[in-house]
Structure 1
């Protein structure tokens, strides 16, 4: 097979700051970073460049949910091919989703943790499965899911190859297992983050753990940089995470009695102990439409969150179709009363039992208090709900820094829907003003 080629200056395409990352050959290469830190961009370039350089190497790309690959890792790797001017060397297909290096038959294979059987059965026809890339690793809440993939990268490889797991993610709650396993005990070099946009926490034979941020990305223009400058001035707490790449702040958490757990929804329903509670919060351009489904055991004070939907740009027709698809069209649904016109339309067009929430003075606090009385179990697939419940905290006074008796107006789309869904149960519980508490 004769394929034309041209010379590309790798230094100009990749840029600076990532030399340690690029040359590391230990088992775990872990990078957390803020927005615009080019961590995923650089990772994609590394894999395309090194697969073409190292014969017999193959890559497994993993995300929490398989369907999210198309707009993220798959697109990023195709972009890397274009930047390196090697697209003509690769065949990229979406069914099955894979990329093949034409001269040798080496492959990039895509999988999701939502299909565990496909994860554990990955094999390659040419060479060795020696590398794995976990993108948006913070979404992997269960360390055992990571370990299963880790164990699949095993067996002897030729001297020119090495086995490695690469994880890239935006920083999230410091309670995440990634922090305990790879970052704790390492060096904290805040000055390097501020000046260079990159800090290395650990660099051993087995683990490279590092933080990067937008300052490490010389490809950002002035408009991009202004976004971060504005964020630093107007929302310093958000800037610490999305700008500097530091772990999210989890102090002042509103909900704390919850855990992520697998459970059988049908078996729970058969027990007859549960009320099915469904809630809907409207959104469109800036905020998502949020739908939540849970089972509530009033007597034993347990809630099992088992389904969600989280999407921007949904029209009323789309919402009805989504709820019909999930099998809840005939069920009681409590929706945000701010969209009374939409609720009445849906009632006439497929959701006969949808109703408006009852908003009154301190209704948010009352709903929070009621939910605080329950132990909450969440299916791992409800990733957006998990993100919100982790980051929903009590607001603080901007002058004094003291906690206020109200939550932040953020990370609350699914949580608002959740409050609406239990409204009738909360009313039966006779919540009284002044009974709520801050945790």
Structure 2
């Protein structure tokens, strides 16, 4: 093995994160703050330093692991120059350190294998890394926490690491790890400015965001919590539910809707509306940037909604026509001077339930706020940032609630 000087490999800004032995190590940060890459490097370092230690790496959904935490771990192995010493397999995803048999296991919380009952053949399972921790519930975390138990060899310690972007100040992560002070908790915030590996083009993206989108920059640039002030939808809950069971409920109606974008994301969102109990269930989503209308049509069909009535942004008649030519039942949303606020007012009468899999919609709805005027006072105009799925929902739900005859003109 080659000798490596760690500061040259890791860079600055994470010494305390790297060295802490607290049971809970939480790091929120901006995009580009190298938190995931640093955690991956630390993962390999600890496999080498503690020859009886094993790792469990977790995300909410299994299908997101391969291109994130698993890829980062393989990248870290290569950075250490240890490719020949590790065996990486993809089904199930795991990495083995060949000299000792230590394992790095990768699991989604939706995995058929019970994450909380995973054991290892050699040594102890004492480290858990949770990537994109904002996706998981506090109950999920508590179950993982209880799975790290048993005696350890002398000099070893147990630790759960949580890495995430701080999309909402309402997140349980804030109250649990950042507001509550405890000797077992290490909490840190990092930003893109501690990442010396960013090039000039990367840095300009953040500088431009700071000027043009200060609300988004607060989260994605400064690593601060999403702002709850002026939230448009407050009666919102993240919760799993049985789509088929709700669909069979008497009086339930479905809405399918699309907000067009290109530089901004297209937002295709699906809802079920329980008018009797005043509940909107968001049950599916697809967000994508830089895609053509032909690709949008193909995706809607692939998701199984090709035969549904899709309510689209009325400001895009050409795009609607192209979707129709591609076999999609696309229709324009309602329009009019007061249509936005009237649609919002209608939806505010409902509780909105979002499943964990609709993570983009959940991120947006927690940050969908009224804009502020130059004096810092809340206005009656929604902020454009975090509005894409919200506009999409409004098109379909307002159309569903008000029928085909109502007009704001």
Q: For this structure pair, what is the TM-score category when the shorter chain's length is used for normalisation?
A: over 0.9
Indicate the residue corresponding to 2:231 in structure 1: 253
Distance 1:239 1:94, change over 3 A: same
Q: Take 1:303 and 1:230, find their aligned partners in 2: how far apart are those partners?
A: 36
Q: Is the 8 A contact 1:45 1:80 kept in 2?
A: yes
Q: Take 1:316 and 1:235, find their aligned partners in 2: how far apart are those partners?
A: 27
Q: Which runs of 5+ in 2 are unaligned?
A: none
1:389 aligns with 2:365: yes
Deviations 1:121-175 (A, max 9, x none): 42322222111101111222x2001111122222222224221100111122111
Structural mapping, 1:208-247, within 5 Å: 208-247=186-225
Distance 1:225 1:305, change over 3 A: closer
Indicate the residue corresponding to 2:351 in structure 1: 375
Task: Give how far 1:107 is off.
Answer: 1.5
Indicate the residue corresponding to 2:390 in structure 1: 415
Q: CA RMSD in A?
A: 2.3
Task: Give how far 1:431 is off.
Answer: 8.1
Q: Is the 8 A contact 1:114 1:381 kept in 2?
A: no
* Equivalent pairs, count: 408
Q: Is the 8 A contact 1:34 1:241 kept in 2?
A: yes
1:339 aligns with 2:310: no
Q: Take 1:406 and 1:162, find their aligned partners in 2: how far apart are those partners?
A: 51
Indicate the residue corresponding to 1:170 in structure 2: 165
Q: Is the 8 A contact 1:305 1:378 kept in 2?
A: yes
Distance 1:334 1:96, change over 3 A: same
1:362 aligns with 2:338: yes
Task: Give how far 1:374 is off.
Answer: 1.0
Deviations 1:341-380 (A, max 9, x none): 34334334433x3322232222211211111111122222
1:46 aligns with 2:46: no
Indicate the residue corresponding to 1:437 in structure 2: none
Deviations 1:71-124 (A, max 9, x none): 221222122122211122112233332212121221211111233644234232
Q: Take 1:232 and 1:327, find their aligned partners in 2: how far apart are those partners?
A: 39
Q: Which runs of 5+ in 1 are unaligned?
A: 187-201, 434-439
Q: Take 1:324 and 1:121, find their aligned partners in 2: how far apart are those partners?
A: 38
1:146 aligns with 2:121: no
Q: Take 1:126 and 1:113, find their aligned partners in 2: how far apart are those partners?
A: 23
SS at match of 1:415: helix
Indicate the residue corresponding to 1:269 in structure 2: 247
Task: Give how far 1:13 is off.
Answer: 0.8
Indicate the residue corresponding to 2:271 in structure 1: 294
Task: Give how far 1:391 is off.
Answer: 0.5
Distance 1:70 1:376, change over 3 A: same
Q: Take 1:255 and 1:358, find their aligned partners in 2: how far apart are those partners?
A: 21
Q: Take 1:234 and 1:337, find their aligned partners in 2: how far apart are those partners?
A: 26
Q: Take 2:27 and 2:166, find their aligned partners in 1: how far apart are those partners?
A: 9
Q: Which moved more, 1:227-236 or 1:259-268?
A: 227-236
1:406 aligns with 2:401: no
Q: Take 2:286 and 2:200, find their aligned partners in 1: how far apart are those partners?
A: 36
Q: Take 1:224 and 1:272, find their aligned partners in 2: how far apart are those partners?
A: 52
Task: Give how far 1:417 is off.
Answer: 1.3
Task: Give how far 1:256 is off.
Answer: 0.7
Distance 1:226 1:27, change over 3 A: same
Task: Give how far 1:428 is off.
Answer: 4.1
Task: Give how far 1:185 is off.
Answer: 4.2
Q: Take 1:101 and 1:137, find their aligned partners in 2: how far apart are those partners?
A: 26
Q: Take 2:215 and 2:331, find their aligned partners in 1: how far apart are those partners?
A: 37
Distance 1:320 1:247, change over 3 A: same
Q: Which moved more, 1:317-326 or 1:28-37?
A: 317-326
TM-score by length of 2: 0.92
Indicate the residue corresponding to 1:436 in structure 2: none
SS at match of 1:405: strand
1:107 aligns with 2:84: no
Q: Is the 8 A contact 1:37 1:214 kept in 2?
A: yes
Distance 1:241 1:159, change over 3 A: same
Distance 1:407 1:430, change over 3 A: farther
Distance 1:124 1:314, change over 3 A: farther
Q: Is the 8 A contact 1:282 1:339 kept in 2?
A: yes
